[in-house]
Chains A and B, each alone.
Chain A
Amino acid sequence: AQRVTQPEKLLSVFKGAPVELKCNYSYSGSPELFWYVQYSRQRLQLLLRHISRESIKGFTADLNKGETSFHLKKPFAQEEDSAMYYCALSGGRGGSQGNLIFGKGTKLSVKP
């Protein structure tokens, strides 16, 4: 079964500390993996996708097919990173996002 697991509901860190938001997936085939973010009172928006292999707002994520993981990392957290983060996968190819399967989300709280 296709599934995305985010084991932490809440992650609290201090400003300047490293952050790692965990994401594990279950999918037979080659999935596309994404991280979405929702800041307070804002809509859900794409943060990054594994095929682009880029860093957005200092965040990076590496797809590890052996461990079926796609953890989101940032070396130095900022207060403005506080938000809800969702990991998602799609069975689409070439960037196609048909059916996005989301995890339950992790709320990141960065304290001053």
Chain B
Amino acid sequence: ETGVTQSPTHLIKTRGQQVTLRCSSQSGHNTVSWYQQALGQGPQFIFQYYREEENGRGNFPPRFSGLQFPNYSSELNVNALELDDSALYLCASSLDADTQYFGPGTRLTVL
């Protein structure tokens, strides 16, 4: 059984740029959730995708968008990066939105 993987591990961008983060679900899972974890904080829910449809969204602006593909892998896109977007981005996969299994995260730094 393959666990959740995320790429890249680390990323440095400048303010105003756009970024795409990727997540491969655990084998057999059809649901992906994305979280933002700022330093010293708990993860904060961005959105969830279930069978390629958005299935809930947290309090994040529209410049945070996502996709889920037929193989249930997922992307998180962030446009017009701001300094406050610097954080660890976590992806979690699950089967039918049950127990979530987290990936190792992507550390994004915005300069």
Contacts and interface: CB of A to CB of B under 8 A. Distances in A.
Tell me whether A and B are bound partners.
yes
Contacts of B40: 104
9 contacts: A43-B4, A43-B102, A46-B99, A46-B101, A97-B33, A97-B94, A97-B97, A97-B98, A98-B33
B97 A43 contact: no
Contacts of B45: 99-101
A4 interface: yes
B99 A97 contact: yes
The secondary structure that dominates the A interface is: loop
Given A98-B56, A100-B33, A4 B42 contact: yes
B58 interface: yes
Size range of the chain B interface in the assembly: 20 to 34
A35 interface: no
Interface string B35-66: 10000111111001000000110100000000
Contacts, number: 55
B94 A44 contact: no
Contact of A100 (B4, B55, B100, B103): B100
B32 interface: no
A95 interface: yes
A40 interface: no
Interface string A36-56: 000000011110010000000
B56 A99 contact: yes
A107 to B, nearest CB: 10
A112 to B, nearest CB: 27
Contacts of A97: 33, 94, 97-100
Given A92-B97, A96-B97, A97-B100, A44 B41 contact: no
Contact of B58 (A88, A92, A99): A99
Contacts of A46: 99-101
A105 interface: yes
